[in-house]
Structure 1
Amino acid sequence: MKTLVQWADFCKALLVEARWYNKSYTPTLDEYLENGLVSSSGPVLSLLAFFSVMEETTREELVDLLAKSDVLVHCTSMIIRLCNDLGTSAAELERGDAPSSILCFMREANVSEEMARKKIRTTIKDTWNKINHEFITQSPFLQPFVKYTVNTARVAHFIYQHGDGTAGKMTFSGVLKTPLYV
């Protein structure tokens, strides 16, 4: 049942972003993140990972373990969302795509894009510190789930570390069309 609720929440979060886009509405950073952590797909990915790696648990254990992993899931979702937003190209901002954490903070704090990106990078660093703490302190029984969830955040950070892949001249499809010579 929890899986269905997570999927429903994910779809609702995407609808909220669509409404923001259609109304040209820029939410506050807190409002954006509250919705963005769900639309990042982090909770859905974490729940699916939980059920795929956790073996033979009773219903009571399951509820207890899910409650103990809330901080980890929240932080992983934050990394996915913020790294995705940092990878957003300037072209997306110019096109007026749905707001990102960068745009929300720029408008809310009346700061430059550079300052907003610095704030988001600091938040990512602080969130990684929380993830590392969770990694060290979680129950050994939860370790398969913890490792999977932390790796999800690592993958998101890696994928978006140099942009979103659409802003540069050499995209993945460009590499396929123009081979690299060694």
Structure 2
Amino acid sequence: MEDISVEIQRQKGGPSPLPHLKQVWVNFCKALLVEATWYHNGHIPTLEDYLHNGWTSSSGPLLSLHVIFGLTNENLHLCKTCQEIIYHTSLIIRLCNDQGTSTAELERGDVASSIICYMQEENVSEDVAREHIESIILNSWKKINYHFNSLSTSHRKIIKHVINEARMAYVMYHSGDGFGVQDGETQDQVLINLVEPII
């Protein structure tokens, strides 16, 4: 983190981003610890509690802060201006991950996903829970679009990179766990979307 901070400061100037980058890592680790505690205790939280922690454990805030600090020197102002976009982007990352990995995690006995939390809380089937999670994702996209359209053009140029984190979550998890199980389909999607030129 110190090396990254020095490089950002060298390229962008201004005060050191190190305290902010360290704090976002601390928050990420604490969120993972909460999930580990739930798992160790066999606790399945409410969906609200899960999402309150899960948007941070998704790594969305961590990725977003690195993107913002790496692209602009008005980083703190932009982070505060775009808190809602960062939150909803992170929520989409978490929920797309859950949709893609929930079945395998349930079979392995891993920590509960949003789907499992909602199934237990509302006593509904997995299909109903998945539909509910999808509605939360769609609502988050609406909120991202609303807040994005209220930004200045210069801020939109930076924040589109944050929003792309949520788009990438769709690519990685639309057919299962494309991050943890890197099969041919995931590899093809990454190549098509990120590497191969558009002709």
**TM-score normalised to the size of structure 2?**
0.79
Q: Partner residue of 1:37?
A: 55
Q: Give identity over the alignment, percent.
A: 46
Quote the Cα distance in structure 2 between the aligned partners of 1:91 and 1:73. Answer: 28
Q: Partner residue of 1:8?
A: 26
Q: Partner residue of 2:16?
A: none
Quote the Cα distance in structure 2 between the aligned partners of 1:164 and 1:75. Answer: 21
| 1:130 CA drift (Å) | 1.0
Is the 2:95–2:133 contact (alpha carbons within 8 Å) kept by the matching residues of 1? yes
**Which stretches in structure 2 are left out of the alignment for 5+ residues?**
1-18, 188-199
Match for 2:63: what amino acid? L
Q: Secondary structure at the match of 1:88?
A: helix
Pair 1:103 & 2:127 matched: no
Aligned pair count reads: 169
* Alignment deviations for residues 58-86 of structure 1 (CA, whole Å, 9 cap, x no partner): xxxx4332211100000100010000000
| 1:89 CA drift (Å) | 4.5
Quote the Cα distance in structure 2 between the aligned partners of 1:80 and 1:21. Answer: 21
Quote the Cα distance in structure 1 between the aligned partners of 2:55 and 2:33. Answer: 14
Aligned match of 2:173 in 150, 155, 160? 160
Pair 1:172 & 2:183 matched: yes
**Which stretches in structure 1 are left out of the alignment for 5+ residues?**
177-182
Coordinate RMSD, CA, aligned: 2.2
More RCO (CA 8 Å, sep 6+): 1
Quote the Cα distance in structure 1 between the aligned partners of 2:186 and 2:63. Answer: 30
Match for 2:183: what amino acid? F
Q: Partner residue of 2:82?
A: 69
